[in-house]
Structure 1
Amino acid sequence: MKQTAIARGIQSVRAETDVSALIGSLNKAFADFKAENDRQLNDIKKGSADALQALKVENINADIANLQRAVDDANSRMAAAELNGGASAGLKDKEYSAAFSAHFKKGDVQAALNKGTASDGGYLAPVEWDRSITDRLIEVSPLRQLCFVQTIGNAGFSKLFAHRGATSGWVGEAEERPETGTPTLSSLAYETGELYANPAATQQMLDDSEINLEVWLAGEVETEFAYQEGIAFLTGSGDKKPRGLLTYITGGVNANKHPYGDIKTIKSNAAATITADSLIDLTESLPTALTAGASMIANKSTITAARKLKDGQGNYLWQPSFTAGKPATINGYGITEVAGMPAIAANSIPIMFGDFKRGYMIIDRMGVRVLRDPFTKKPFVSFYTTKRVGGGLLNPDYLKALKISA
């Protein structure tokens, strides 16, 4: 175990060194970008706009986006390791994993190891394997890093919400104290949907063990789960899947599903575009008491556009990462690229801002199940793999959305 801890420490140092090198390149590129973009703006003011200069600015902007994404990816790997405490690097349950491997190859499960079987013919994956999928999902799914994640052991999860209803009054020393108002409570249920992947391998490949079965299947599952989650956590309707963040915004399909109401929008006040003023209005829309953990989410094209904006003093609102583990910022708040966010267009919602850990909850039903199917698609053996995942709004007061004007 000591060697494992030392190895993890070395990997951590290497990761931070790599991030530091990337941050150095990123900050140099941003300095070049500011100089060239300012030159382009001056040319435009003089009426001598140069297409080659504009192209140069766009190329540097694209380089910055790639470097920042590399920094964010490295930060995500560090966050995943910290979040799980390196638990997946511990000793495996050899008995359990051996039975799981036997189930992969032939469907054989020893009677003494029936803790892995299920009455429906499925097989509960080893804890280490389940955890490795979760670790990868944290790395590739930005919302899992930003939002509150609750693991449950039952079919669903219910949470109580208090409505302010307590009243009080002033009285004299000898006056009666009549009963005052009492707060009321509402219950909100968060359901889970079943997320699945169905990779397949030939029986000969399994017989010859030419691949690391657990690593291969985990990779297939992670790819499919990350893709489906990314869509559902943003736009899921709640029908057999999570209720997505965007669906709780005023006018969305789930806008009336939460006891505290919907997520309010801030108008951009500029047709089909974003402005520096609109981003400042967005970050100032939350009370200071609710902004301690606040950040933004947007897609690549939106962040690229925001990178060109300046405040009234000529300072760029977007700033790159300066230290390992920290994201780029806009107006002092971190911004994370989320591919599924809408692009800038009339009436779209390209940016959300707030404390996502207090605003949105992701629910994981513990355990991954694998159903081995050698019959449906011969000569392939399919591994029908399922995990139950849900999600929903925690508190709309902590979130705001920027809506582009028509």
Structure 2
Amino acid sequence: MDRIDDGLETKAGAGSDIGALFAEFSTAFEDFKRTNDQRLTEIEKRGSADGLLEGKLDRLNAVLDGQKAALDRAAAERARPALEGKAAVPDGEYKQAFSAYVKRGEEKALQIGVGSDGGYVVPGEVETEITRRMTAISPIRAIAGVRQVSGAIYKRPITVSGPATGWVGETASRPQTASQTLAELSYPTTELYAMPAATSAFLDDAAVDVGQWIADEVNAAFSAQETTAFVTGDGVNKPTGFLSATTVAESAWSWGNLGYLATGTAGALPASNASDVLIDLVYALKAGYRQNASWVMNRKTQGALRKLKDADGNYLWQPAASADGRASFMGFPLVEAEDMPDIGANSLSIAFGDFRRGYLIVDRQGVNILRDPFSAKPYVLFYTTKRVGGGIADYDAIKLLKFAAS
């Protein structure tokens, strides 16, 4: 068995041309399909596949993951806004005051956006940039519902069951019907912080786009912490993740719980007709949610699903149609979230649902920066905070696949 060339994986991370990266990704997927077809043929004929062939398939899976990461990085780089000197910036006077504060600590020109605690509120265009880039990088934020609030807690009433109705004849009596059932969901916002550092010489450099630098530094720290909290957060000083909800078998589902389907095999998909349980998961979701649904899983789980085919021999996993698009599985977008658990005994490794309706992220308006030139000399620290909350908004909009016997 020929060994796959290492150059493919190296090449994927080397360039920044999105078109070339996307072409390489498509080529790698065709190679993956040919190799997997060969593996399936050997299993059908001999009951098992050659070990070298299995190894090649695993390597190709890793190549696809590496090339997708390279595509994401290139897309983020292309979306980077112009530097301060190359484009007009709104609120120019306020932007200049903010820049002076960050570089030298000057506050004499500031009249708006000063927090009562002595912090400094980031100007609107920088705040928007931080949130936008977190949306691009944080996979859950990109598909969830998002609300901006001005208070510490966002409360949302929801109808659990509607009023009872009935048909009656023209002259028949109208007995009283049961009223609707309401519930209130509460989303407290908690503090998320980052503290990038810079030298005074760096900040004095006239070419430095201060707002862009803060967005870059804070973005990576915020997005990683956010995604973990939105998936597995326990609600203690952080948002409540959707996997922290109480889970029950779909047949026993009730409001306040997330329903799951079991694969029938602990730690694995069924040995035969593996895709059937995934089809069942799709149709466990009501039609009103299904039309906007997405798959959520981590990279390793996605690698396992890439090997599945339908009855006509078509691969259920398909690459994105464009460089900035999403891969799909069974026709629905697939979102890669590394905080989802690996496949294992009793793991909830796959989520499927309308996350726009099923999970709500609450952002308190404003990102605050406190400049500290004293604590870590010769570095200037920028204590940057924002308040974020999150939790399930509709318990019927998300379903889970449990890798368990029942």
What TM-score, normalized by structure 1, do the two folds share? 0.84
SS of corresponding position for 1:116: coil
Q: Is this contact kept in 1: 2:141–2:227, CA < 8 A?
A: no
* Offset at residue 238 of structure 1 (A): 1.3
* Offset at residue 70 of structure 1 (A): 4.3
Which amino acid is 2:60 matched to? Answer: I
Match in the other structure for 1:167: 164
Equivalent positions of 1:292-331 (< 5 A) are: 292-323=291-322, 325-331=324-330
Match in the other structure for 1:349: 348
1:233 to 2:233 alignment = no
Which amino acid is 1:339 matched to? Answer: E
- The separation in 2 between residues aligned to 1:98 and 1:306, in whole angstroms, is 51
1:268 to 2:267 alignment = no
Q: Is this contact kept in 2: 1:77–1:139, CA < 8 A?
A: no
The aligned length equals 375
Superposed CA deviations along residues 112-168 of structure 1, whole A, max 9, x for unmatched, are 522132221111111111111112101110111111111112222111111325223
- The separation in 1 between residues aligned to 2:17 and 2:195, in whole angstroms, is 36
Shift in alpha-carbon separation, 1:212–1:173, aligned structure 2, 3 A:
closer
Superposed CA deviations along residues 275-323 of structure 1, whole A, max 9, x for unmatched, are 3222222222212332110110111111011111123333322122224
- The separation in 2 between residues aligned to 1:260 and 1:192, in whole angstroms, is 23
Q: Is this contact kept in 2: 1:267–1:403, CA < 8 A?
A: yes
Among candidates 102, 105, 109, match of residue 104 of structure 1: 102
* Offset at residue 395 of structure 1 (A): 0.5
Q: Identity of counterpart residues, as a percentage?
A: 44
- The separation in 1 between residues aligned to 2:179 and 2:209, in whole angstroms, is 60
Q: Which consecutive residues of structure 1, in runs of 5 or more, have no partner in the other structure?
A: 1-16, 82-88, 252-258
Q: Is this contact kept in 2: 1:277–1:311, CA < 8 A?
A: no
SS of corresponding position for 1:304: helix
Which amino acid is 1:338 matched to? Answer: A
RMSD: 2.7
SS of corresponding position for 2:63: helix
Match in the other structure for 2:148: 151
Shift in alpha-carbon separation, 1:201–1:183, aligned structure 2, 3 A:
same
Which amino acid is 1:100 matched to? Answer: F
Shift in alpha-carbon separation, 1:326–1:217, aligned structure 2, 3 A:
closer
Please say which of residues 208-217 and 390-399 is displaced more in the overlay.
Answer: 208-217
1:136 to 2:133 alignment = yes
- The separation in 1 between residues aligned to 2:398 and 2:313, in whole angstroms, is 28
Shift in alpha-carbon separation, 1:278–1:69, aligned structure 2, 3 A:
farther
Q: Is this contact kept in 1: 2:113–2:122, CA < 8 A?
A: yes
SS of corresponding position for 1:60: helix
Match in the other structure for 2:52: 52
SS of corresponding position for 1:270: coil
- The separation in 2 between residues aligned to 1:171 and 1:378, in whole angstroms, is 80
Match in the other structure for 1:333: 332
Superposed CA deviations along residues 58-82 of structure 1, whole A, max 9, x for unmatched, are 222222233344455667789999x
Please say which of residues 377-386 and 42-51 is displaced more in the overlay.
Answer: 42-51
Please say which of residues 384-393 and 160-169 is displaced more in the overlay.
Answer: 160-169
1:201 to 2:183 alignment = no
Shift in alpha-carbon separation, 1:192–1:168, aligned structure 2, 3 A:
same
Match in the other structure for 2:4: none
Please say which of residues 69-78 and 181-190 is displaced more in the overlay.
Answer: 69-78
Match in the other structure for 2:179: 182
Q: Is this contact kept in 1: 2:368–2:384, CA < 8 A?
A: yes
* Offset at residue 191 of structure 1 (A): 0.8
Q: Is this contact kept in 2: 1:72–1:327, CA < 8 A?
A: no
* Offset at residue 386 of structure 1 (A): 0.4
Shift in alpha-carbon separation, 1:298–1:171, aligned structure 2, 3 A:
closer
Q: Is this contact kept in 1: 2:190–2:238, CA < 8 A?
A: yes
Which of the two has greater helix per residue? 1
- The separation in 2 between residues aligned to 1:51 and 1:329, in whole angstroms, is 29
Please say which of residues 338-347 and 29-38 is displaced more in the overlay.
Answer: 29-38
SS of corresponding position for 2:30: helix
Q: Is this contact kept in 2: 1:73–1:139, CA < 8 A?
A: no
SS of corresponding position for 2:345: coil
- The separation in 1 between residues aligned to 2:227 and 2:71, in whole angstroms, is 20
Match in the other structure for 1:61: 61
- The separation in 1 between residues aligned to 2:258 and 2:340, in whole angstroms, is 16
SS of corresponding position for 1:350: strand
Shift in alpha-carbon separation, 1:402–1:79, aligned structure 2, 3 A:
farther
Superposed CA deviations along residues 27-68 of structure 1, whole A, max 9, x for unmatched, are 332222222212123233443743332222222222223334
Which amino acid is 2:26 matched to? Answer: N
Please say which of residues 341-350 and 240-249 is displaced more in the overlay.
Answer: 240-249
Q: Is this contact kept in 1: 2:246–2:256, CA < 8 A?
A: no
Q: Which consecutive residues of structure 2, in runs of 5 or more, have no partner in the other structure?
A: 1-15, 82-86, 249-253
Match in the other structure for 2:5: none
Which amino acid is 1:349 matched to? Answer: L
